[in-house]
């Protein structure tokens, strides 16, 4: 959606040279932009039988929690290794240089849960694929992945659909990386 897209700021060479950082803080700061963003997800996912919203640290939390609240369901944080206090399951995934691990609380999923998984942005898909794998390890059905921004040239959305059969819904796209 072009109004949402127009409120996302691009910071060149952050955090490293050559990266175009798509900064949602300018969107979150704008009341119309924030309401449109959350409202778009709530309209899409209302009455779909979703029982929980899971989101990835930290920017995913900012959209995942209000969407869960509006849908009237619970929220599940997916965090970097070592941040969740109770018993967890882990998933390793590849970064551009090296590897990382994300975790979820073991007791966050019950049989029959149908989960919406959210983040601010999908690029190569590494983070989102690991999140879906975590949810599936616990027995959840993943309804869809919802993001504000897709960078389709980096292939994450296509990979999610081809390898995991999970559709990615994005409010806007940016070309390149």
- Interface residue list for ligand AMP (CB under 6 A): 19-22, 56, 59, 119-128, 156
Distance CA 77, CA 54 (A): 6
Q: Residue 59 or 143: which CB sits closer to ligand AMP?
A: 59
Q: How far is the CB of 148 from ligand AMP (least distance, A)?
A: 10
Would residue 96 show up in a list of annotated catalytic residues for this protein? yes
Q: Residue 47 or 99: which CB sits closer to ligand AMP?
A: 99
Distance CA 87, CA 146 (A): 26
Q: Residue 88 or 170: which CB sits closer to ligand AMP?
A: 170
Distance CA 14, CA 17 (A): 6
- Residues 88 and 106: beta-carbon distance below 8 Å: yes
Would residue 44 show up in a list of annotated catalytic residues for this protein? no
Could you tell me which of 51, 55, 39, 48 has the C-alpha nearest to residue 146? Answer: 55
Please pick, among 32, 44, 57, 59, the residue that the annotation labels catalytic: 59
Q: How far is the CB of 92 from ligand AMP (least distance, A)?
A: 13
Q: How far is the CB of 40 from ligand AMP (least distance, A)?
A: 18
Could you tell me which of 4, 56, 11 has the C-alpha nearest to residue 27? Answer: 4
User: Mind telling me the catalytic residues?
Assistant: 59, 96
């Amino acid at each position: 959606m072009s109004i949402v897209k127009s409120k996302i700021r691009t910071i060149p060479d952050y955090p490293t040279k050559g990266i175009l950082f798509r900064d949602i803080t300018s969107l979150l700061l704008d009341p119309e932009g924030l309401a449109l963003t959350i409202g778009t997800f709530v309209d899409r996912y209302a009455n779909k039988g979703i029982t929980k919203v899971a989101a990835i640290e930290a920017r995913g939390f900012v959209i995942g929690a209000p969407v869960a609240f509006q849908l009237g369901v619970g929220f599940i944080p997916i965090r970097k290794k070592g941040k969740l206090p109770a018993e967890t399951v882990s998933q390793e995934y590849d970064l551009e240089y090296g590897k990382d691990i994300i975790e979820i609380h073991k007791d966050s999923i019950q049989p029959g849960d149908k989960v919406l998984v959210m983040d601010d942005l999908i690029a190569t898909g590494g983070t989102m694929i690991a999140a879906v794998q975590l949810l599936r390890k616990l027995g959840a059905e993943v309804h869809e992945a919802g993001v504000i921004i897709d960078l389709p040239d980096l292939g994450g959305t296509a990979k999610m659909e081809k390898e995991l059969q999970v559709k990615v819904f994005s409010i806007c796209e940016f070309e390149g990386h």
